[in-house]
Chains A and B, each alone.
Chain A
């Protein structure tokens, strides 16, 4: 099996499959929430949004959007290359946020509480063989 192209529909499908398989509701603290990650300056010059929806700790949806992404409880925005560095484990998400490379919209108190849960989600995404 070849690598998945980062932020392609196939990548999103594989992400959904792996997240649902690898993350139990217990691991995800039975969380119900939603998050969008907005990638600016993609290689083709466009902006893309990935929307994640969790219900009771189960990932229900990972969807790609070029425009009109659904509203989410949390939004993380940053440069495509920054997200790629995080996915390649070259940069920690926390460090990217603390340095301002990523911006977060949403209640920080809640976000800090959910940070370990999101880390678990990112760890699974990092296992997808990906071409950036």
Chain B
């Protein structure tokens, strides 16, 4: 009856016990007695379950971790995860059952004499639901564990989750296949003038329906699910976040369709663009610029390059072709299992909690190849996103939807 993926011959299997063992080995190396994970990315990666409510995972030096989530969702998290009932606890507003009491109960037995180091997750993020420990939680835990040291240790998870395993990669492949189904549904709905009278929200909804039918769990992005923009909204300056609005699609305008699907915490994220006919030669010029750039970018990604070297090469191309001023100067964002979005790699760049521009990509890493073209004065813009798996000689683009900006 469980929804967990626990058999090794399942193409989507991830070896969660091994992940925990790897974390515990690193804890021992760093002198951390207990690890307290609270970030959404950590919960997804360790529990293999989606935790939409404030949740924690307590990882002892040996043995199984225990998850703590809001009691109304604990049974479902247990059903989805690889852990049993005794290792998924619910918290609630009840004596001894509040979050801090449960954390203390789980952590204290692993601190010799109450002393020792508790690895916690703190910092900042561009991503709102990152899940770092709050000040209240930090202070309450310090009070509940007066002799313990709380040590920021999220690097352990960040390092271990950087290179993707086969099961995770297959989940991303499937999520991308589902996104392509969504794009096909949008294409069929808007062709032959079908877009007339439709709104952005309607486009987002019909794509969602098609993707759900194909097995997507939800349109995962916190940016409003499926991001749809039309007309001037496609060209908002430096804009790369467009929750669908009630705006009606109009002939002669661009349409940006950025779809999100989730399959077993693997994420599909692909943006495709249209020109709703009739399109002008100038619009086609913009579109061709963008398509050529995306094509070049996909051909450039490989192990050994960095965000900076890639950006330099891409922006040189934009300059050469005369559209550099329309490009947002970034060509990627990080990606991992649900909750792992935006920053790439480790927190080792010049600006804390931003991608290190000199991060050197390795084979087995995944990023979203992401580009945004915006020309506000002409009310036109395009977006491309596609999860890619980096290898030694190139990359695998997970969405197979044909690259192009067609007039429809």
Contacts and interface: CB of A to CB of B under 8 A. Distances in A.
Bind each other: yes
Interface of A: 77-78, 96-105, 107-110, 112
B91 interface: yes
A112 B91 CA distance: 11
Interface string B28-58: 0000000000000000000000000000000
A103 B90 contact: no
A108 B85 contact: no
Contacts of B90: 107-109, 112
A107 B71 CA distance: 10
A101 B95 CA distance: 7
B95 A108 contact: no
A109 B97 CA distance: 10
A104 B71 contact: no
Nearest to A100: B95
Contact of B91 (A96, A98, A102, A108): A108
Contacts of A101: 95
A108 B71 contact: yes
A47 to B, nearest CB: 16
Contact of B95 (A102, A107, A110): A102
A104 B89 CA distance: 13
Interface of A is mostly: mixed
9 contacts: A78-B95, A98-B94, A101-B95, A103-B95, A103-B101, A105-B105, A108-B90, A109-B78, A109-B89
Contacts of A100: 94-95
Q: Report the 8 A-B pairs with minimum CB-CB distance, sorted nearest first.
A: A103-B96, A103-B95, A100-B95, A108-B90, A109-B90, A109-B74, A97-B94, A104-B96
Given A104-B96, A108-B71, 16 more contacts: A78-B95, A96-B95, A97-B97, A98-B94, A100-B95, A103-B97, A104-B94, A104-B95, A104-B97, A107-B85, A107-B86, A108-B89, A108-B91, A109-B71, A109-B75, A112-B90
Interface in B76-125: 78, 85-86, 88-97, 101, 105
Contacts of A107: 85-86, 89-90
Contacts of B74: 108-109
Contacts of A99: 95
Contacts of A102: 95
Interface residues of B, number: 18
Contacts of B89: 107-109
A120 to B, nearest CB: 20
A132 to B, nearest CB: 22
Interface string B302-345: 00000000000000000000000000000000000000000000
A102 B91 CA distance: 15
Pick the most buried of A101, A108, A109: most chain B CB atoms within 10 A of its CB. Answer: A109
Contacts of A97: 94-95, 97
B96 A110 contact: no
Contacts of A98: 93-95
Contacts of B105: 105
Contacts of A103: 95-97, 101
Given A103-B101, A107-B86, A112 B95 contact: no
A107 B94 CA distance: 12
Nearest to A96: B95
A90 B88 CA distance: 34
Interface in B60-79: 71, 74-75, 78
Contacts of A77: 96
Nearest to B75: A109
